[in-house]
Amino acid sequence: MKLSELPRRTAATVESVEDHTPNDSIARRLRELGFVHGERVEVMAAGPVSAEPLLVQIGFTRFALRRSEAARVRVQANGDGKRINGFDVAVKSAEGDQP
Higher-confidence residue of 75 and 96: namely 75
Within a domain: residue 94? no
Asked if the structure places residue 49 within a domain, the reply is: yes
Residue 96 maps to a domain: no
- Domain coverage including residue 73: 3-89
* Number of domains observed in the structure of the chain: 1
Residue at 98 is within a domain: no
Q: pLDDT per residue over 26-51, tens digit each? A: 999 999 999 999 999 999 999 998 88
Q: How far is Cα 17 from Cα 3, in angstroms, rounded to an integer?
A: 10
pTM of structure: 0.76
Write out pLDDT tens, residues 84-96: 545 555 444 444 4
Tell me whether residue 77 is in a domain. Answer: yes
Q: What is the DSSP letter of 20?
A: S
Q: Is residue 66 part of a domain?
A: yes
> Which stretches within the chain are classed as H helix?
25-32, 67-70
| CATH number of the domain where residue 30 is located | 2.30.30.90
Sign of the alpha-carbon dihedral angle for 74, 31, 70, 22:
negative
- Report yes or no: 56 and 65 within 8 Å, Cβ to Cβ: yes
